Each structure stands twice: as C-alpha cells, then as structure tokens.
Structure 1
Amino acid sequence: MTRALVVIDVQESFRARPLWETISNPKIAHQVDRLVRLARQAGDTVVWVLHSEPGSGDVFDPELGHVRLLEELRREEREPLIHKTSHNAFTTTNLQQLLTERGIRELVVCGIRTEQCVETTTRVASDLGYQVTFVTDATATNPIAHRDAPAGQSVADLLSDPRTLSADEVIRRTEYALAGRFATLATVDELEAAAGSRA
C-alpha cells in the first residue's frame, strides 16, 4: 500500500505531567488503537513517533522512563518506531527516507498535541507533497496559557485565567487552519465507514 498511519507522541510523558488532567481527549489511546487496527487490516504501514529530549531532566528525557507509548497501545515488531527531537516528525528523523523507500504518498496522522506536533507534522508533510488526512478526534491537546501568563503557573491558575485558550478552541482553530490547505479532515468513524464500504 502507498499509505501510512503516523502516530505522533501518544506517550506516557504527557500522562506524567499535571496538565494531563486538562487533556481534551483522555481516551485518545482508544481512538488511536481503532486507527491502528484499520491500518493493519488495510495493509498500510504504521509508524510510531515518540518525542524525546535527552538530558532535559523532564518527562521527555528518556532516562526517566516516560518516553514510551501509552500503556494501552501495542506496537508490532515490524512497525517502525522513531524518536524525534523537533516538533515535526520529519526534521530530526529518517521518516521521509522510510516513507520514500516504501513508496508511500498518503499519510493519516493522529496524536498529541493537536496544534503542536501533529499540526506541524501535517504542514511539513503537505509541503513535501504528501496527501494528508488529519484525524481530529484521534488527537488531543490542553488549554494554552496566554503569552503574558507567568511561567510555571499551576493548572488551577491556567484554568482560572480568562485569557487561557481552551482545548476546544485550540482544536477548532487547528481545523480551520488545516482544512483545504494542508490536509483533509476526518474522524475515526468516517475512516472506519470508508474502509467498510471498500471491503
């Protein structure tokens, strides 16, 4: 097949942070698992991407043990696992080489965070000539603090600040930015229905 599912940063690092309590989609692993099963049934490549910040001493530092898939997910041995250190999954990895070697021209993307690593990967992929499907309900994000908010504020302060952008608003803005420009938007249900109609 010439299509790949790229699962971006669905990792325990996020669950290890206090901000996880504000995540837009706490059951993201379930949605991602549905996409993984669809991809495997179709014979598509599944590529797993993890974000890593070696030496940082935080939850993205591999030494602390959180840079691994959410425990609900299972990767098959034949499925590539790549580690990135930039927001998009291309710049600091061999992802493009891997896709080129397999003749892949179409990507389905999902993961954490909607507007950050998943959106950035989508934009870069589009610029590289890939046809991209962005599966909104298989992404997740958190509220975003205002640029003038104090660094290191607590979750309670983040949520009580009227300038904070809600996770729902972040997702909505991402959809507006991507649709018709960088990607086709889809839901897991829509992709399952399309797969059923092709069977």
Structure 2
Amino acid sequence: MTTLPDRTNTALLVIDVQNGVVGGAHNRDSVIANINVLLDKARAEGVPVVWVQHSDDDLKRGSNEWRYVPELVRRDSEPIVHKNYGDSFEATELEELLAERGVGRLVVTGAQTDACIRSTMHGAFTRGYDVTLVGDAHTTEDLSVYGAPPPEQVIAHTNLYWKWQSAPGRRGGTVGTAEVTFTADDAG
C-alpha cells in the first residue's frame, strides 16, 4: 500500500543489535533467536536484509560494544547502514539503498524499542513506507531508574500503538515472528 511509486518490495531491517546496546536488554536471547528466524526466512525468500549500526560516544566505531552480537551474522551481500541518530534515515544512505531495491515496506526488528526502533518506524512512515514491527523481535534495556516504565511495558505499549498506525496510502502493524510474511499484501 506504500505511497512510494513502483516500490513493491519488502525489506527486513535489523537495527542496532550491538553488544553495547543489547547486553542487558529484556529477553535478549529470545529476541536474537527470533531475528535469526526472520533472517533465515528473508534470505530463503530473496528478501533484502539491511543492517543498521549506531555509533556515538558510548558506541565507538570498532569497539567491542559497537560490534553486532556474535549470534547474528551479516552476509557480505547485505548492506550495513552506519548511523549517529535514532532515526536510521537521518544523515545515512538508507533511503537510497531501499530505493535501489524497490522497497516500499519495512519489517522492523532490533533495539532499542524506546529509541532507535520508534524513531526509525516513524521516520519510515512519514517518508511513505509501510512499516511492520515484529513484536517479539525488538527489545530495550531497563530505564526505569530514569522514570521509564519497565522494559516489558515499553515493548508492550509500542506493540499496541504501532498495531493501529495508519495514514493515507500507508499503514503500520505489529505481528509476531511466526506470523511474518514478506508479501506486500500483509502489512500487519
């Protein structure tokens, strides 16, 4: 349904599943296992996989904290987008990579739910993409010391509100790993 003309393909987006980001994240191992299920499925179906990797003062490029978790293995043919902002589209080549592949729909996984996941979903949505969040394939750390709800509530709330996202010519949606399809007809 995307508003992007002639962009009928779907891509799997794997955001910031880096050692320093998910080291203490809620349900870390099951989220990574679900992302691996989605990677296998996307690759088997010839669906583009795009990796996103954040850098900042706490995630210095080249450091162990900056590296992707060892359980997830990127193929050389799968592009990696390096970013410095929450929204994976800001000051990156993500839009160009997706346009080259005819992508108008994103299936989103990764971390952190309350930061880069939300920012990227909203950034994609406002740029015309359909955006499906995989509800059991994203996570966040416990930021309750700063006044945030516990991570399981942050994740549940994000899954709930994204399930009903819609705008003229595009839609959001939330599905579990087992329900993910990479066809344009299933945006949620």
Q: TM-score range by the shorter chain?
A: 0.7 to 0.9
Task: Write the deviation string for residues 99-122 of structure 1: whole angstroms up to 9, x where unpaired.
Answer: 011111111000011121111111
Residues 10 and 105, structure 2, Cα contact 8 Å, conserved in 1: yes
Q: Does 1:10 align with 2:10?
A: no
The structure with the greater share of residues assigned to strand is: 2
Corresponding residue for residue 109 of structure 1: 108
Structure 2 counterparts to residues 27-176 of structure 1, below 5 A: 27=29, 28-53=31-56, 56=57, 58=58, 60-145=59-144, 149=146, 165-176=149-160
The structure with the greater share of residues assigned to helix is: 1
Which TM-score applies when normalising by structure 2?
0.83
Residues 143 and 170, structure 1, Cα contact 8 Å, conserved in 2: no
Call closer, same or farther: CA 1:15–1:138 in 2, change over 3 Å.
Answer: closer
Which TM-score applies when normalising by structure 1?
0.79
How many Å apart are 1:164 and its aligned residue?
5.0
**RMSD, aligned CA:** 1.9
Tell me the amino acid that sits aligned with residue 26 of structure 1: R
Name the structure, 1 or 2, with higher relative contact order (CA <8 Å, separation 6+): 2
Percent identity reads 33
Corresponding residue for residue 24 of structure 1: 26
Residues 22 and 111, structure 2, Cα contact 8 Å, conserved in 1: no
SS in 1 for 2:164: coil
Tell me the amino acid that sits aligned with residue 46 of structure 2: G
Q: Which whole-Å CA distance do the structure 1 matches of 2:174 and 2:22 have between them?
A: 26
Moved over 3 A (4+): none
Corresponding residue for residue 156 of structure 1: none
Residues 107 and 132, structure 1, Cα contact 8 Å, conserved in 2: yes
Structure 2, gaps ≥5 residues long: 1-7, 167-171, 184-188
How many Å apart are 1:5 and its aligned residue?
0.3
Task: Write the deviation string for residues 131-173 of structure 1: whole angstroms up to 9, x where unpaired.
Answer: 1110010001122236xx5xxxxxxxxxxxxx55111111122
- Rg: which structure is higher? 1
Tell me the amino acid that sits aligned with residue 189 of structure 1: A
